[in-house]
Structure formats: C-alpha cells, structure tokens
C-alpha cells in the first residue's frame, strides 16, 4: 500500500484545458516520473529523449510549456531554449514558458534563457509551484486574447449595424426625394439640386415642362390611365436626356429639367428633344394610344438674378408664354424678355 506522502495526487477539476508540455529529458527514470505527474495534473505531454526529437516535437506542436534537461547532449538544452525564446519574440501569438531541469547534485550554472529552474529529484507540489507562474501567465494572455477577440467581434458587429443603419437612412433619404409614380426626383430633390448648382456659380439652365391638356386625359380616361401616361413619359424622357442633365417631377403633370453647365441655347435644345420624343409617338395605355404633347419654358442664369428661385420663376414665365402661344412648343425667357 502507498504511503500517504507517496500517494497519487487527486485529479485537477477541469475548469479549463491545461496547456500541453514538451518534456525533453535524456534520463528515462526522471522523464517517466515527471510525465506521470504532469499527466495527473491534466497536461498533454510530448516526450523527447534528445535535442533532435525535441526540436521536431516543438516545431510541430508548439507547446507553451517546456521542461528541458540541462544535460541534453550537444548543448541541446541551450539551443532548444534559445530557439523557443527567439520564436516567442518573433511571433507574439506563440507563448513559451521554459523550465530547466537540473540535478541537485549538479554545480553547473543555470542557463539564462530559461524562465524557471527545477531541481530534481522533485515531488508533485514542487512541480506544480514551478509551472504555476507560466500557467497563470498563459491564462492571462488567453484571457486578454479572448477579450481582444470579443472586442473585435463587437467592433465588427457595430460596423455592420452602422452600415445597416446608414443604408436604411440612405434608403429613406432616397425615398423622401423620389416621386413614387415616375421614380424621378421629386420637387424637394429638384430644389436641393438646383440650389447646389446655383451655389457653384457656373452656367446653369432650367426647363419647366408641362404636359398639354393632361387634365382632360384624367377626366376622360380616369386617373389610372393618367398615371400610366406619366410613367411612360418619364421612361421615354430618361432615354433622351443629355448626360449630366437631371429630370424631376415637380407635381401633377409638371416636370423640371435641370441642365448644369448649360446656357439657355443648350437647355432649349435639350427641351426640344423631349418635346419631339412625345410628339413623334403616342403613349400606349390600357385605354389605347394617347397623343401627348408638352409646353416648355427655358431660362438660364443671368447676372441680374439674385437666387435660384429667380431662375425658376424665369422658366415659369417662359412656360406660361409657351402655353399662351398655343402649346406644344418651347419658349425662351430671354427671347420673350427682349420682345417685351
């Protein structure tokens, strides 16, 4: 029967997985005893009898705890410990706690590259005390890494949520600035864009467009057909709008064509393309083909204008003149002003 002081230690409760150990010892009796204690402490143990096999096991498994016999042949202990230290310094993710095994009868000076010295023969408690600082340090590093990973995941989650919120905000912004029927920008979007262009102080042309006799279409065929006409007009106009120009639905049958960096002549030509696009082909609806025309008023920025609102009012006046002249035509504000 085992004496109390020689009895095997009680098993360690598995609160967390114990770090693995590389045990490099040329002394088979000591190696066997140490391996026995280490396994009862809950460690996975890799045993090596010489420096070559120790190097191979270390490179393959990267165990965080090293127990190395100081008397390994060919300066094996010194080379192995220095290699482990160098690797840990080069690669922060690899942690190594090294223990040098030295016989109590040996008078040799311990190697400076080790973290702890364990004099043998030893017992279970002494082995635990020797490994405890390394295990504690490893646990702290693992906790820090876990916290860092949690923080990284929290940051990634926050980024995703922020991006999702930004996308939702942008979607709501677009919806707030988009006409539901035609999918063109609405009046608010038109005025915002007009002001932005005005503030840039370059040439700027605008065209106010109005579908002729649209109320009669609604009265005769119903608002459903009227909506089909508006959708088809917007689709047709998109195909013939000059690159850089922007169409908006201002409300009802009234539209705005914004022509940045354009004078009145260029804006008038853009308006004419839209007029011909309607005049040349009727709109197909559930009620049959419906002929649709437009009247347009064109204006461009002048030195006398003090705001983008003045520019819009000038285009409105030209639109009124186009309607008054018989519709299905375009009038320039400057021409009417000179004629007046």
Annotated catalytic sites, by residue? 253
Burial 236-265 (b: 16+ CB within 10 A, else e): bbeeebeeebbbbbbeebbbbbbbbebebe
Nearest in space to 208 (alpha carbons), one of 297, 279, 284: 297
Peptide bond preceding 93: is omega within 30 degrees of 0, i.e. cis?
A: no
Q: What is the largest CA-CA distance in the chain?
A: 126
Residue 327 has, within 13 A of its CA and on its CB side, a CA count of 9
Are 83 and 55 spatial neighbours (Cβ–Cβ below 8 Å)?
Answer: yes
Helix (H, G, I), strand (E, B) or coil at 159: helix
Tokens of 58: 């270390």
* Residue spans of alpha helices (H) in the chain: 28-40, 51-61, 76-90, 124-176, 187-199, 214-221, 223-240, 264-279, 308-324, 333-339
Sheet holding 97-103, edge to edge: 45-48, 21-24, 65-69, 97-103, 116-120
Please, which residues have CB within 8 angstroms of residue 89's CB and are 6 or more apart in sequence? none
**Residue 298 contacts residue 267 (beta carbons within 8 Å):** yes
């Amino acid at each position: 029967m085992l004496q109390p002081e020689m009895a095997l230690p009680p098993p360690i409760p598995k609160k967390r997985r114990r770090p693995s150990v590389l045990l490099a010892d040329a002394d088979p009796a000591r190696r066997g005893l140490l391996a026995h204690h280490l396994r009862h402490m809950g460690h996975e143990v890799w045993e090596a009898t010489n420096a070559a096999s120790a190097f191979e096991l270390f490179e393959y498994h990267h165990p965080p705890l090293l127990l190395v016999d100081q008397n390994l042949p060919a300066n094996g202990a010194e080379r192995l410990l220095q290699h482990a230290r160098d690797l840990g310094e080069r690669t922060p993710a690899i942690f190594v706690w090294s223990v040098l095994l030295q016989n109590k009868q040996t008078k040799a000076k311990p190697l400076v590259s080790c973290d702890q010295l364990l004099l043998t023969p030893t017992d279970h408690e002494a082995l635990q005390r020797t490994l405890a600082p390394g295990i504690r340090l490893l646990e702290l590093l693992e906790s820090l890494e876990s916290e860092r990973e949690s923080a990284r995941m929290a940051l990634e989650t926050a980024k995703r949520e922020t991006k999702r919120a930004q996308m939702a905000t942008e979607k709501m912004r677009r919806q707030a600035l988009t006409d539901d029927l035609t999918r063109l920008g609405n009046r608010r979007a038109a005025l915002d864009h007009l002001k932005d262009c005005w503030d840039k102080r370059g040439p700027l042309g605008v065209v106010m467009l109005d579908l002729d006799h649209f109320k009669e279409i609604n009265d005769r065929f119903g608002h459903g057909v009227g909506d089909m006409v508006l959708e088809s007009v917007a689709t047709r106009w998109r195909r013939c709008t000059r690159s850089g120009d922007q169409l908006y639905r201002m409300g009802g049958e009234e539209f705005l064509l914004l022509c940045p960096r354009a004078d009145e002549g260029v804006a008038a030509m853009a308006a004419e393309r839209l007029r011909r696009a309607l005049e040349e082909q009727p709109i197909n609806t559930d009620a049959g083909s419906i002929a649709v025309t437009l009247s347009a008023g064109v204006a461009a920025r002048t030195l006398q204008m003090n705001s983008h609102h003045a520019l819009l009012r000038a285009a409105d006046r030209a639109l009124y003149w186009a309607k008054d002249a018989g519709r299905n035509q375009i009038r320039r504000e400057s021409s009417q002003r000179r004629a007046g």
